[in-house]
């Protein structure tokens, strides 16, 4: 059994974009309710953690943006763009969400935990340097990666993003550097419109952005092939000091915003691959953070599947069977977008 940290706080439930908004507190509540069950929740560590400081957030965002979001504090409703709304406690929740990832990276660096899952809101991977968008206020994972580089002297960081939507903010944060490798699967063309297969980085970052744009309809076998044949081989060549994962459950079969068909077994499998890669390459350092996901069943079952693999035990019946694991490791289903990505990435990696 692994020492798996879960980052949770009721403040994340207080961020409320409004009753008609898909990024509802209910998304997180269904997971927290499962963790409140002693049989499930007792397997994990629940660290105390603090909000991120302004200086830390400024590692990835402009002072202007931070001031804009801070100005929403205490206001019942505010709009940062047409889709991105705040409530009275949203700024505080956003700072605490960043703080969760910062604390998780530090504990991994000190060897206090084996891995962790930041069950936070608001999500982050769409937030740009000076713009909140796509339900995201601050880019939690990008700030954490910059913190790991600056404060913990980590030389190479690998980010895997399996959210339905492309993480434009994360890609743009590291497009010109080889010190952070960004790999994304996403439905395309779809919001926010970025993430084509030809976007591979710029200057010293060329080859360190890996996009696998998918048309929709892809499920467990297709995602298994992407991880087995593209992400895992690249990771073994890159040799990162830590893995960070933007985990979106909106690729779940039945999510109202997407057209993917991933099951809990698929989430288990991707997590297992990430855990095994982390154990092989960087002392097990793996931190996952919540992004999207708008089907409540998918949120609950997907989170339990991920947690089962992180802690190495079946959680609420969500353990991945050996039969399923073997099947996905040997998946041979046709996946044309993967072939296109492989063709592009052969310019930079042995894949």
Which amino acids are annotated catalytic? Answer: 126
Helix, coil or strand: residue 214: strand
Question: What span, in angstroms and rounded, lies between the C-alpha atoms of 310 and 290?
Answer: 14
Looking at the DSSP bridge assignments, the partners of residue 85 are: 79
Q: Tokens 């949203």 sit at which residue? A: 90
Q: Tokens 């706080």 sit at which residue? A: 9
DSSP character at residue 122: S
Q: Closest Cα partner for 52 from 130, 168, 151?
A: 151
DSSP code string of 236-301:
HHH--SEEEEEE-GGGBTT-TT---BB-HHHHHHHHHHHHHHHHHHSTT-EEEEE-----HHHHHH
């Amino acid at each position: 059994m692994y020492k798996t940290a879960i980052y949770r706080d009721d403040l994340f439930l207080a961020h409320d974009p409004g009753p008609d908004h898909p990024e509802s507190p209910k998304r997180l509540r269904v997971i927290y309710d499962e963790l409140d069950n002693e049989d499930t929740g007792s397997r994990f560590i629940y660290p105390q953690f603090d909000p991120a400081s302004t200086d830390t957030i400024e590692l990835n965002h402009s002072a202007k943006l931070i001031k804009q979001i801070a100005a929403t504090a205490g206001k019942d409703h505010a709009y940062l763009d047409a889709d991105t709304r705040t409530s009275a406690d949203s700024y505080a929740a956003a700072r605490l969400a960043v703080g969760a990832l910062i604390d998780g990276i530090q504990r991994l660096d000190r060897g206090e935990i084996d891995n962790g899952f930041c069950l936070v809101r608001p999500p982050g991977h769409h937030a740009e340097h000076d713009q909140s968008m796509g339900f995201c206020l601050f880019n939690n994972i990008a700030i954490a990666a910059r913190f790991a580089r600056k404060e913990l002297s980590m030389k190479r960081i690998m980010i895997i993003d399996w959210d339905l939507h492309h993480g434009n903010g994360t890609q743009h944060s590291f497009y010109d550097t080889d010190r952070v490798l960004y790999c994304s699967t996403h439905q395309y063309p779809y919001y926010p419109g970025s993430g084509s297969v030809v976007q591979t980085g710029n200057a010293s970052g060329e080859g360190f952005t890996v996009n696998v744009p998918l048309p929709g309809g892809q499920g467990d076998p297709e995602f298994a092939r992407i991880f087995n044949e593209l992400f895992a081989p690249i990771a073994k060549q890159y040799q990162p000091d830590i893995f960070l994962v933007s985990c979106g459950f909106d690729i779940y079969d039945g999510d109202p915003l997407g057209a993917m068909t991933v099951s809990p077994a698929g989430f288990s499998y991707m997590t297992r691959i990430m855990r095994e890669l982390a154990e092989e390459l960087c002392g097990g350092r793996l931190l996952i953070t919540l992004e999207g996901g708008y089907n409540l069943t998918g949120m609950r079952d997907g989170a339990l599947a991920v947690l089962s693999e992180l802690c190495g035990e079946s959680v609420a019946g969500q353990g991945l069977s050996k039969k399923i694991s073997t099947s996905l490791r040997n998946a041979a289903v046709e996946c044309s977008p993967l072939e296109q990505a492989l063709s592009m990435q052969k310019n930079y990696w042995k894949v």
